[in-house]
Each structure stands twice: as C-alpha cells, then as structure tokens.
Structure 1
C-alpha cells in the first residue's frame, strides 16, 4: 500500500499538523506553556474542582503523576489547589481564570484551523465531515477521545 493511501498515516500526519497549528496560535495568544497532558486535565477540571486522586484515576495515572502535572499547571497559572471544605486533609484542583482563558483560546484555535482546512476542500468539506463522523461512529473514536479513554 502506498503511504498516501494509508488512513492511519494520513490521520496521524493531519492530526500532528493541526496540533502544531493550534499550539502556534495559542502561543501567539500568550499560552506557550500548554502541553498535551494539560488538555486532558483541562477537560476534567471544566466540570469543577476535583481531588487529585480522582483526577489521577480519570487520567489513568498515579496520584503522584497527576500531582506533578497539576504542579506544572499551577506554575503556568492554569490551575490552583485549595482545601476541600468537607475534609481539610484533601486538596481540590480547580481551573484558574487563566486556565479557562486557555480553554477558550484552544477551542477558538481549533475552530479556525478546522474552518481553514474545510475551506481548502470547498463543497467537498461537508462530505469529508460526514465520512469522518461515520468512521468515528464505527470505531467509537470521538466519544472515547472526549471521555479521555483514547489518547491521541
């Protein structure tokens, strides 16, 4: 099979190119510290404060690993820890205003990248989206990715 016909390679290449473009746009907007792992944490913090141990379970990592990622996000100003009002031994992790801003900018950057790519295809863009949705439905890829059960 020719590599230009290999869906896995095509999806991987396009995903990497889109990721680079989104990161470039985020950096231009003042968020050069955002890393891929932060996206997983952002997703879980959007629902509100969470205990490190619960976050670690959702991320499929140790509490120590999750704590290290959160510390990195705290240094960048994206997350903060505070005592649990019901158990002072427990620390809750929350998104800061800067964290929420990074999420908004990331979403806008992804929408802009998507719009530019679809504009390249013209009217064929709608057909591509429909075909990709069918493939995603067949594999459960999008629901698994959004639930953070599938890692890019």
Structure 2
C-alpha cells in the first residue's frame, strides 16, 4: 500500500498493477484499499494459531543441555505463573546462524516458549535472570535468546 500510495493519480496517468492471484487476502485489501481490515484479519488469523503479536514467543537456540539448563534456571514452564507452552526442541532451522560460543559440530537445537501477551515482560525478565546466573557459573554453553523473533522456523 505504501508503494501504491506513491503512484501518480489516475488522472495523471498513474497505474498500479498487481501481478498475483486475486483471491489472496493481501491483494484483496489493496484492491479495496482497506489496510485496517487487512490488519484485523491478520491479527485474528495469528491469534487462532498462537503467533505474535497475539502472544509472545521466546526462541532459545543452543545445545540441548544448555537450553534445558536455562529453562530449569528460569523456572519455566510454571503453570500457575506463566501458563508457558514449550514447543520443541527441534533442530536449528536451515539458514539460521549458529549461536556464538558453541563448538563446531555440536548439535544446536531450538526451543520455543510461548506465553500470553500479558506475561511477555515476566518471561523476558525470567530468561534474562537465568542467562545471567548461568553465565556467571560458566557451566554450560551459551544460549541465544530472542523475544518475538521475525522467523521462528
């Protein structure tokens, strides 16, 4: 929509051409010039499957042992406190850079922690404290923590 808004007016010969299937919701919102309706529909769809921004997700990348140690130290999942959902572990997705400090050849896993929107700050604080404690102990490889990463898999 931002690109289409930059086009000259129709009276001045401006044309916006969309070369895509007309049934795609994004194309429909452009044809109707309805960014609010599109955003509401996208938020509804993401809420149904539990994806940000309707929830907060933390991606933890590291060796399986280090990730589990971080989760244990953070106290996740505590059903009474966070109602956190653990998704994984899975192998690190292709094309994702390995976390720094992990020996070459060591298997790297990704664990996703999903919490309701209102518990996002608590999740971040617990993970930050856990990373600090484990870093001070120097007993495990480092774990990369990303809150609401752009790509989760």
Compare CA radii of gyration and give the structure with the larger one.
2
Greater RCO, CA 8 A, separation 6+: 2
Higher strand share: 2
Tell me the TM-score normalized by structure 1: 0.31
Structure ranking higher in helix proportion: 1
